[in-house]
């Protein structure tokens, strides 16, 4: 898609709609299928237009997003570590890459137990340098799968890759609690949210379901400082730490993923098919790599 052909709508150009106690605003539109939003250290929003392999940057208050990169390996999701290194899940290349602050790119996960990864999908960084990612296989990716399972993985600070979970169903979104001691993963097939306990070194245990019967396959997931869970599924659903449904936010399009952003981290940016929406919740969200 040519950038000039993209239709954009920002801020005052669109009337904000009320959704109960929250305000929903469409800030970007006109793309093919958006995914992988993340709040960058320079206070901008990164997201990907998956079918075109483009990674884009949106600066709140500016008139248009700019292209950051075109990645032949695909770009499904992005995160940062506490040092400012950028990690990208590249599903077509079946790997996780790290780009340092000077622009040097290294592959940090590509094979496990002598076999290629399936198609890395979503990832999150803990403040101590542990990276966690999901490795499902959707559509044609299933035909090329070699591992024999659909995994949740950890890359420790020394670069060692281990399997956190080996599922037969597809893990999708992934997030951390504010204290970094709990890992949350959505299951797109079972339509559930799993939680894992994390120890001080980053090791995971006690895989258990905390939310069941989610309407629509759940994709991205985030947490806030109170421990609530925000999930992109048929709509944006908000659950309490006990798994009780607290709120449903309906958008004009089905959401795929989400991230907290803005300087106060009280805005939830949601990618939904062709558009990016901003939802003002008035609560502080968790961006896991930030202190």
Write down the pLDDT at residue 144: 82
For the record, the structure tokens of 290 come out as 């930030």
From residue 1, give the alpha-carbon distance in Å to each of 5, 8, 29, 255: 7, 14, 13, 21
Q: Are 202 and 126 in contact (CB under 8 A)?
A: yes
Write down the pLDDT at residue 62: 82
Q: Are 127 and 82 in contact (CB under 8 A)?
A: yes
Architecture (CATH level 2) of domain 3-280: 6 Propeller (2.120)
Distance of CA 10 to the CA centre of its chain: 22
19-33, 93-107, 127-141, 219-233, range with the lowest pLDDT = 19-33
Summarised one tens digit per residue, pLDDT across range 117-173 is: 999 999 999 999 999 999 998 877 777 889 999 999 999 999 999 999 999 999 999
Percentage above 70 pLDDT, the chain: 92
DSSP class of residue 119?
-
From residue 263, give the alpha-carbon distance in Å to each of 42, 289, 290: 10, 15, 12
From residue 185, give the alpha-carbon distance in Å to each of 75, 122, 221: 19, 10, 8
Q: 177 pLDDT band (50/70/90 cuts)? A: very high
Q: Which of 250, 256, 186 is nearest to 214 (CA)?
A: 186
- Report how far residue 249's alpha carbon sits from residue 235's, in angstroms, rounded to the nearest whole number: 6
Q: Are 44 and 97 in contact (CB under 8 A)?
A: no
240's enclosing H/E stretch is none
Half-sphere CA count of 117, side-chain side, radius 13 A: 28
Percentage above 90 pLDDT, the chain: 84
For the record, the structure tokens of 161 come out as 């890759």
Look-up of token digits 């009337």: 15
Q: What is the mean pLDDT of residues 92-118?
A: 96
Summarised one tens digit per residue, pLDDT across range 33-65 is: 999 999 999 999 999 999 999 999 999 988 689
pLDDT at residue 109 greater than cutoff 60: yes
- Can you name the residues that pair with 80 across neighbouring β-strands? 86
The domain spans of the chain are 3-280
The mean predicted confidence, pLDDT, of the chain is 91
Write down the pLDDT at residue 145: 86
Write down the pLDDT at residue 226: 97
Write down the pLDDT at residue 19: 45
Q: 17 pLDDT band (50/70/90 cuts)? A: very low
Write down the pLDDT at residue 21: 67
pTM score: 0.92
């Amino acid at each position: 898609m040519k950038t000039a052909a993209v239709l954009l709508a920002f801020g005052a150009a669109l009337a904000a709609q009320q959704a109960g106690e929250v305000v929903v605003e469409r800030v970007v539109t006109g793309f093919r299928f958006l995914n992988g939003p993340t709040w960058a250290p320079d206070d901008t929003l990164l997201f990907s237009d998956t079918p075109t392999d483009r990674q884009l940057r949106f600066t709140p208050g500016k008139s248009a997003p700019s292209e950051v990169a075109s990645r032949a390996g695909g770009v499904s999701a992005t995160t940062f570590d506490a040092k400012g290194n950028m990690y990208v899940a590249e599903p077509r290349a079946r790997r996780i890459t790290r780009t340092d602050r000077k622009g040097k790119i290294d592959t940090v996960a590509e094979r496990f137990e002598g076999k290629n990864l399936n198609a890395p999908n979503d990832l999150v960084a803990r403040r101590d340098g542990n990276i966690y990612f999901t490795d499902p296989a959707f559509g044609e990716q299933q035909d090329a799968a070699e591992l024999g399972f659909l995994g949740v993985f950890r890359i420790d600070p020394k670069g060692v890759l281990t399997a956190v979970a080996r599922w037969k169903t597809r893990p999708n979104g992934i997030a951390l609690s504010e204290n970094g001691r709990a890992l949350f993963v959505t299951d797109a097939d079972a339509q559930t949210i799993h939680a894992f306990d994390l120890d001080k070194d980053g090791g995971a245990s006690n895989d258990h379901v905390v939310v069941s019967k989610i309407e629509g396959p759940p994709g991205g997931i985030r947490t806030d400082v109170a421990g609530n869970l925000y999930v992109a599924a048929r709509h944006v659903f908000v659950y309490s730490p006990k798994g009780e449904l607290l709120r449903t936010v309906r958008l004009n399009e089905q959401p795929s993923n989400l991230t907290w952003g803005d300087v106060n981290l009280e805005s939830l940016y949601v990618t939904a098919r062709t558009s990016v929406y901003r939802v003002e919740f008035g609560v502080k969200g968790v961006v896991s790599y930030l202190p």
